Structure 1
Amino acid sequence: MDAHFWPLYGLRITTPRLELRLPDLESLSELAAVAADGVHDEDRMPFSIPWTDASPEERGRATFQHLLGTVAAWTARDWTLSLAVSCDGTVVGRQDLGAVDFAVTGEAHTGSWLGQAHQGRGIGTEMRAAALHLAFEGLGARYLTSSAMTDNSRSLRVSEKLGYRPDGLATVSVRGAARTQVRLRLDRAGWEAHRTVPVELHGLQPSLALFGM
């Protein structure tokens, strides 16, 4: 895709197994298909917004619309970079990095999901590490935040391995019931102390103004 008017299409983040990039329409269709196939067991809900409580077709369509919406709504003050994650050439999930007033606060947040067929292989840790490298090394972030339900042990383990520390609890309404989230925070020192995944950034410079840099 021509990245002249939207240089984020030229941004790539690579690790030993993964490539993260803003998907073109073909890759976005592949990502939507991964969401349609399922990202968690039906008897649990790891998200505060239960977007997966839908048919496979609706999940795929929601993924397609959400990602295009992040591009359309982007401003230098309020942005969400929603990247398709490919492992050995196959799209396996999505990794988000977002912020409001990042140029002032230096703080951003992460979110992600991974297709069920690709879980249990360490991909979730590797793709989050890629997003952290972009934030701290590429954009000069001061802090990264995340959150997970108290029973989402996989997500909490990823955060712990990468150096996040608990930052309080929050009560949210999910499926009409009260659920408890763990808030998590990572500073630059914690990130540097827990770096184990080699990450490379490609094509970031032309996009810096879009991040408010």
Structure 2
Amino acid sequence: MTVGWPVVLRDDTPAGSVVLRPLRRADAQRWTELRVRNAAWLTPWDATTPEGHSSPPGTFASYVSALRRLARSGTTLPFGLELDGELVGQLTVSSITYGSLCSASIGYWIAQEAAGRGAVPTAVALAVDHCFSALQLHRIEINIRPENAPSLRVVEKLGFRDEGVRERYLHIQGRWCDHRTFALTSEEVPGGLLARWQAAREGR
């Protein structure tokens, strides 16, 4: 068994129950419906592969199998994101590195109809706390397009530090796009990020 995986993470919020759990093959229909219905909402932020470096599209089952292999190798944690028992998105902890770095990156997407209800900051906080405690990582970063206002609000709410712009960082829809990097280290949230977010959410 990989350290810290598989795992189910949960927090009950005023807007509903937020759960992170392993993405599974049985999610195929719901996941595909979400991606098709939210194409216009998600496409501007989805990473793409530069021309000449493409790989053939696979099935959802092969996609989940590939993610499971990465999870077993200890480099990735592929979560389905649920709100009140319904799959509404995905959160992936990737680039998990130990040794002198002990770091990882978090990326996510959520259906438009579930956005703005607090599920994303809660899910990010759950994942960060799991990485700092179970995986004993030291640093977590999130990279966001400067134009992605909803995601910028998420890191602002959670208190991530803005570390500046990475120019031409990620390939998106045919071009290399700048991203702003936001990060947290374990020393910055000694009581846990979820507890800090809950206190902010409740106005304490």
Match of 2:46 in 1: 47
CA RMSD of aligned residues (A): 3.0
Q: Hey, which bits of structure 1, 4+ residues long, moved more than 6 A?
A: none
SS in structure 2 opposite 1:154? helix
1:72 to 69, 73, 77: 69
Give a deviation string over 1:40-67, Cα, whole Å, max 9, x none: 537x6123438xxxxxxxx9x7765433
Structure 2 residue matching 1:15: 3-state secondary structure: strand
Tell me how far 1:13 sits from its aligned partner: 0.5
Q: CA deviation at 1:154?
A: 0.9
Paired with 1:181 and 1:62, the residues of 2 have a C-alpha distance of: 29
Deviates most, 160-169 or 107-116:
160-169
How does the TM-score come out when normalised to structure 1?
0.72
Residue 75 of structure 2 contacts residue 95 of structure 2 at CA under 8 Å; is this kept in 1?
A: yes
Q: Percent identity of the aligned residues?
A: 18
Q: Which runs of 5+ in 1 are unaligned?
A: 51-58, 199-213
Whether contact under 8 Å (2:122, 2:197) holds in the other structure is no
Q: Deviations over 1:191-211 (max 9, x none)?
A: 34752249xxxxxxxxxxxxx
Distance 1:108 1:178, change over 3 A: closer
Give me the whole-angstrom Cα distance separating, in 2, the residues matched to 1:145 and 1:49.
20
Give the Cα–Cα distance (whole angstroms) in 2 for the partners of residues 68 and 87 of structure 1: 24
1:128 is matched with 124
Q: Is the 8 A contact 2:93 2:106 kept in 1?
A: yes
Q: Distance in 2 between matches of 1:39 and 1:93?
A: 13
- 1:183-202 alignment, distance < 5 Å: 183-192=181-190, 195-197=196-198
> What's the TM-score, normalizing by structure 2?
0.75
Tell me if the contact between 1:167 and 1:183 (Cα under 8 Å) persists in the aligned partners.
yes
Higher relative contact order (CA 8 A, sep 6+): 1
Alignment of 1:1-213 (within 5 A): 8-9=5-6, 11-16=7-12, 17-38=17-38, 40-41=40-41, 45-49=44-48, 65-74=62-71, 76=73, 79-172=75-168, 173-192=171-190, 195-197=196-198
2:31 and 2:47 map into 1 onto residues whose CA distance is 21
Distance 1:190 1:163, change over 3 A: farther
User: What displacement does 1:135 show?
Assistant: 0.7
Query: Which residues of structure 2 form unaligned runs of 5+?
Result: 50-56, 200-204
Question: What secondary structure does 1:41 align onto?
Answer: helix
